[in-house]
Amino acid sequence: MEAMVEMKGIGKSFGSVEALRQVDFRLNPGEVVALLGDNGAGKSTLIKILSGFHSADRGSMMVKGREIDFKAYDVTVARSLGVETVYQERSLGERQPLWRNVFIGRHRLNRWGLIDVKREKMETMELLSSVLGLRGAGLSPDASVETLSGGERQGLAIGRAMHFGADIIVLDEPTTALALSEVGKVLSFIGSIREDGRSCIVISHDLGHVYKVADRFVLMDRGSTVGDYRKGDITPEELMARMIGLNGEVKP
């Protein structure tokens, strides 16, 4: 099976800080991988290399069988290959109507080159009902973003990425700022990525949040990938013990 993403020996430094030392990472089609590790382990740096935000100092990366030349790789190229990161901090404009948010920067144009408002609203409605499962009188494309809960906003951002054809969807700590009731919603949106046959990397430092939804767990510690377990091969208790073991190690 061809990997969606295959990274080998990735290294990345920021000045004297070696954020990534030795990273090997693979993402398969239709798979949700949880990237786990303590603060500073290098999780965000790793996915920023995948999404074209940073380039690696060394190592190799393949996306859908294509060898990536880091010198010619950026966020736009990554997107064109289907890689999309849903950033937690990339919050939507609160008072903007939902349809504006969905199409910001990526408009549907009519044959006169003008924004096709009718089509954008229609597609937004489809997205709201198919991805968020929101329907009925309560919701319209004209509703403002502030009417959505935190979890629903994440869902909208995920749905938006899927709507624009992303099939490698990256979520960096999507549940961190949320109430527990909202965490469940986000996890079910992540589940819908897989049900749709797409792949997802979800970063978390809380195994409890992502255990249910992930198929595989990749552990990072101080810039390296140090463990890779399929869900069927490890119990949650063992996985937790493995993570605590890493955190408990004396740092050199």
Q: Does 174 bind ligand ADP (CB under 6 A)?
A: no
Minimal distance in Å, beta carbon 44 to ligand ADP? 3
Question: Distance between CA 107 and CA 221 in Å, rounded?
Answer: 41
| Closer residue to ligand ADP (CB): 27 or 98 | 27
Q: Does 194 bind ligand ADP (CB under 6 A)?
A: no
| Residues 5 and 56 sit within 8 Å (Cβ to Cβ) | no
Interacting residues toward Mg ion by CB under 5 A: 44
Which residue among 42, 52, 155, 174 contacts ligand ADP (CB under 6 A)?
42
Which residue among 23, 32, 33, 44 contacts ligand ADP (CB under 6 A)?
44
Q: Does 41 bind ligand ADP (CB under 6 A)?
A: yes
Q: Does 176 bind ligand ADP (CB under 6 A)?
A: no
Q: Which partner, Mg ion, ligand ADP, none, binds residue 156 by CB below 5 to 8 Å per kind?
A: none
Question: Distance between CA 149 and CA 133 in Å, rounded?
Answer: 13
Question: Distance between CA 24 and CA 3 in Å, rounded?
Answer: 13
| Residues 196 and 29 sit within 8 Å (Cβ to Cβ) | no
Question: Distance between CA 14 and CA 20 in Å, rounded?
Answer: 9
Q: Which of 34, 22, 31 is nearest to 2 (CA)?
A: 31
Q: Does 17 bind ligand ADP (CB under 6 A)?
A: yes
| Closer residue to ligand ADP (CB): 78 or 131 | 78
Q: Which partner, Mg ion, ligand ADP, none, binds residue 191 by CB below 5 to 8 Å per kind?
A: none
Residue 206: both structure tokens together: 């809380």
